[in-house]
């Protein structure tokens, strides 16, 4: 049972690109973008690179919050 359609080897439409741009601006994780667009994470990274979009790390703290006490 597939919950989304796969767009493997299909060309990117203008709607796909607009959705990609919107989701990147919202700092959506690449896995979620891939699920919404029906594409792999590798395809998301490749297209974002071609468009000059920067995929920032998702709202994660770069430091551990654990206390060493």
Q: Which residues of the chain have pLDDT under 50?
A: none
Q: Kindly report whether the global pTM for this prediction surpasses the value 0.85.
A: no
Q: What pLDDT is stored for residue 57 in this prediction?
A: 74
Q: What pLDDT is stored for residue 9 in this prediction?
A: 75
Give φ, ψ of 30 to 5 degrees: -60, -35
Contact 31, 41 (CB under 8 A): yes
Q: What pLDDT is stored for residue 67 in this prediction?
A: 57
**Strand ranges (E), 19-68:** none
Q: What pLDDT is stored for residue 56 in this prediction?
A: 81
């Amino acid at each position: 049972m597939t919950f989304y359609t796969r767009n493997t080897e299909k060309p990117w439409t203008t709607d796909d690109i607009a959705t990609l741009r919107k989701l990147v601006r919202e700092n959506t994780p690449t896995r979620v973008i891939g699920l919404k667009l029906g594409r792999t994470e590798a395809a998301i990274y490749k297209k974002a690179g071609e468009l000059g979009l920067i995929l920032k790390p998702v709202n994660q703290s770069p430091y551990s919050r654990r206390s060493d006490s």
